[in-house]
Amino acid sequence: MLVGYMRVSTDGDRQVLDLQRDALLQAGVDERHLFEDHASGSRGDRAGLAKALAFVRPGDCLVVWKLDRLGRSLPHLLATVNDLKTRQVAFRSLTEQMDTTTPQGEFLFHVFGALAQFERSLTQERVNAGLAAARRRGRRGGRPVAIDPEKLTAIVAALDSGAAKAAVCRTFGVKRSTLIDSLARIGWPSGSTVHGDGRDETPAIDGAPTRRAV
């Protein structure tokens, strides 16, 4: 079965949506098996795509008008197509004439995967080179210190004398999350101890689509 997916960035792109619909119907996709999104390609929460991916079954083929209709980036496109492959679902892009059921289409996706890995390697190399250069100049990476050393010293002294974290936050004008993070950075030994009114304990953290097009 052919399953079609369409996407436009805004509701005003009606002409583009009609172009995609006509192309998918001409390719043999049934009108009842079309899914669509009106959202930017950079968004990861596309309801229409999620429904299409949940709808396809082994032996089906997901069809799009162009590659950029499916993936918000090259890594996302590769991850989506690879996921389809593990589920024994084929993929076809009409504009690029790409079809993973053919040797040529399979080879092209291997090339895309190699290019994505190459891009990740270059990015990591640039990051490491930048950090090394910063260290040679006496700078360290990471987030800036949220609480200056003088204030943090006073805060630790107050906590060691029995003050509650809530009271310290009010007195010194810092957020509780910032305080806890700063204490963890310096390895404050009493970080897990309950002080004062006992309110410093860390709270606990709480805790198949049908096969039809919508």
pLDDT at 134: 73
Bridge partner list, 140: none
What span, in angstroms and rounded, lies between the C-alpha atoms of 38 and 6? 9
Distances (CA, A) of 85 to 96, 113, 138: 19, 14, 49
pLDDT digit string (tens) for 91-133? 999 998 888 888 887 777 777 767 667 666 777 777 777 777 7
- Average pLDDT for the chain: 78
Longest distance between any two alpha carbons in the chain, whole Å: 77
What span, in angstroms and rounded, lies between the C-alpha atoms of 57 and 86? 11
What span, in angstroms and rounded, lies between the C-alpha atoms of 114 and 110? 6
63-85 average pLDDT score:
85
Q: How many CB atoms lie within 10 A of CB 77?
A: 19
pLDDT digit string (tens) for 157-204? 888 877 888 888 888 888 998 888 888 888 886 544 433 444 444 443
pTM reported for the whole predicted model: 0.53
189-197 — which CB contacts under 8 Å span 24+ positions? 190/159, 190/160, 195/159, 195/162, 195/163, 195/164, 195/165, 196/162, 196/163, 196/164, 196/166, 196/167, 197/164, 197/166
What span, in angstroms and rounded, lies between the C-alpha atoms of 87 and 167? 55
Is the pLDDT at 63 greater than 90? The verdict is yes
First-to-last alpha carbon distance for the chain, in angstroms, is: 16
Bridge partner list, 63: 4, 92
Spatial CB neighbours of 42, under 8 Å, sequence gap ≥ 6: 72
**Which of 48 and 71 is assigned the larger pLDDT?**
48
Give the distance, in angstroms, between the CA of residue 77 and the centroid of all CA atoms in the same chain. Answer: 13
Positions marked catalytic: 9
